[in-house]
Amino acid sequence: MCGIAGILSNDIDLRGQKPLIEDISNTLKMRGPDAKGEYITADTALIHRRLSVIDVEKGSQPMRFGKYIIVYNGELYNTDEVRNELKSFGYSFDTHCDTEVVLKAFDRWKEDSVKRLNGIFAYAVYDEKEKSLFAARDRIGVKPFYYTKKKNTFAFASRIKSLLLVPNVSRKVDEEGINEIFMLGPAKTIGKAVFKDISELPPAYYLTYKDGRLDIKQYWRITAEENHETEKEAQEHTYALVKDSVERQLVSDVPLAAFLSGGLDSSIITKIASDKYAERGERFNTYSVDYTDNDLYFKKSAFQPNKDSDYVGLMSGAVNSVHHNVVLNNIDVADALAQATDARGVPGFADVDSSLLLFCKEVKKDFTVCLSGECADEIFGGYPWYHRKEILFEDCFPWSRTTDVRRSILTDGFLPKGEEYARNAYEQTLKQTSYLDGENDFDRRMREMFILNMNWFMQTLLVRKDVMSMESSLEVRVPFCDYRLVEYAYNLPWSIKALDGREKGILRKAFENDLPYEIAWRKKSPYPKTHNPEYFKRVCELADVVFEDKSTPLYQWINKSALDRLIENPDSLSEPWYGQLMRVPQIVAYIYQIYVWIKNYKVEFVI
């Protein structure tokens, strides 16, 4: 993986902007600590920071072929197929890295080339003769791509922070951006980046830029199609797609491992990877995360029925992996909230972010690439809200069913259209759902839930995984995000997807003979968070600064007495702020992250 950035401008002579280009490059250093490269002319600058994974010696960027120059961030999982097709047209290759394949695919098929790629990517190709730019992002949105257009300057980057260095790009956040933070956060609307001057290229879109004209087009979307497979056929199909996706993502010229929680998804990945390593006489490495003294304070709930630590050893032993258990200090998890916020560029997912950041830093000491099980829950119906009808048919985001707790901690009159903003975001998402003619209300709702989860909950987790891992210079791949698997799962009848009335039933059935029974049929449990009161205490100490520092508007926006009541009575919270993991300690952490973001990013509010 890498960090990319670029500027096309008729207002600035970029040959005289070496300090600016160097500063932008440095914001991407953690994404690419192994090498850096630049392409600079009077009106164009392309910047690349490389984390070397494939063809370490020859894969330098920016890479040129004819009139085209590319900066690329990602991994292509059908490299061999695309390369072989290009060879049939007479192309030859000097490297075995996927960057060269993507570049020459563009030379051959132009904009249509992106439709041939299976992988996780964000890249830009500059045409020297036409002075135009083409940029694309992967279908699911695993890799980030932000951009800005101000006057006659267009710029793009892997990070929000990078774009804030571009001349004339302001740090202004208007009411829409504030609503994103308080009414939807830590999720955000696809295409938005909170800052007024910065946008996100949505997943499955590409853009072209030339002579001040910016055009954005969608190249892929999920569509409803008939599926008449039997239960056995669906089981075999699911197995084949998952296995193929994982095996494709094991290609690496540097050490590779996997995150193992002891849950279904990570265990499937671990099993497939371990089998491939065993074929060549090697043991596979796995990593799990826990918190100091977490066992002493864990409490079962409907959302978190059991601890991962009870199952990690069982799975590791079953595949004979070399297992590493990372135990995080609770104070460190709280103190890392600031770095996690700085890395994201906007307020984030509280300790769900900061713990992953610390975890990835530990993994990075020995490995450069890891596999992770994100997205299986969204596409195979793993979350409780898929199965509880009283939630399923509520006309709202199922992970944030009410804005009441959000509204309760804000001062009277602040964000008067906040609920309307959140409601509109929900309704606009439903319009993106594809149905089959004649589907009943239940089947239509399950398709809506799929799109809601993929476009919101999954995006939140993918941003988290990319940002926190790359801040640690660790590449994380997510096999369940293979678009072939996503398309297939969208069209699986619910009776098969939820086989035996279980969350992810078809996935369990497909792999039940490959996994220990206790893991194949283990009840879904979310990402492990700390239950230690030491963390909550430290977060409250950190958040005290919010009301001690009157230099930020947050002091006027937050209802301190309401927040204090939550802190004093955390069990009074009837609904989490967001999903299964953001309860009172995480709400307090989120408020602190907003404060850190305002201060560190020197945010200017215009409301």
Residues designated catalytic: 2
Q: Are 6 and 71 in contact (CB under 8 A)?
A: yes
CA distances (Å), origin 322, targets 226, 259, 283, 305, 356: 43, 12, 6, 27, 20
Cβ neighbours for 104, distance < 8 A, ≥ 6 positions apart? 65, 86, 91, 93
Element (H, E) at 87: helix 79-88
Burial of residue 563, with CB atoms counted within 10 A of its CB: 0-12 exposed, 13-18 middle, 19 or more buried:
buried
What does DSSP assign to residue 201? P
Element (H, E) at 350: helix 350-364
Place of tokens 């097709």: 85
Element (H, E) at 213: strand 213-218
Q: Which two tokens stand for residue 469?
A: 């891992």
What pairs with residue 604 in β-bridges?
172
CA distances (Å), origin 142, targets 31, 348, 379: 14, 17, 15
Number of H helices, E strands in the chain: 26, 19
Cβ neighbours for 438, distance < 8 A, ≥ 6 positions apart? none
CA–chain centroid gap for 398, Å, is 19
- Distance in angstroms (rounded) separating the CA atoms of residues 214 and 154: 9
Angle (deg, nearest 10), helices 584-600 and 337-344: 60
Place of tokens 């914001």: 27
